[in-house]
Amino acid sequence: MPRVAVIPGSFDPVTLGHLDIVKRAAPLFDRLHVLVTHNPGKAALLPFTQRVALLEQAIADAGVEGDVVVDSWSVGLLVDYCVEVGAQVLVKGIRSSTDAEYETPMAIVNRDLAGVETLFLIGDPGTSHVSSSLVRQVAALGGDIRPYVPRAVAEVLQPGGRPARG
Compute the distance between CA of residue 73 and CA of residue 136 in angstroms, rounded to an integer: 22
132 is catalytic: yes
For 51, how many CA atoms within 13 A lie in the half-sphere containing its CB?
A: 23
Single out the catalytic residue among 18, 51, 92, 146.
18
Single out the catalytic residue among 95, 111, 128, 131.
95
33 is catalytic: no
Answer whether 96's CB lies under 8 Å from 125's CB.
no
Single out the catalytic residue among 10, 51, 92, 132.
132
- Across 42-69, b (16+ Cβ under 10 Å) vs e yields eeebbebebbbbbbbbbbeebebeeebe
Single out the catalytic residue among 42, 74, 129, 133.
42
23 is catalytic: no
92 is catalytic: no
| Active-site annotation, residues | 18, 42, 95, 132
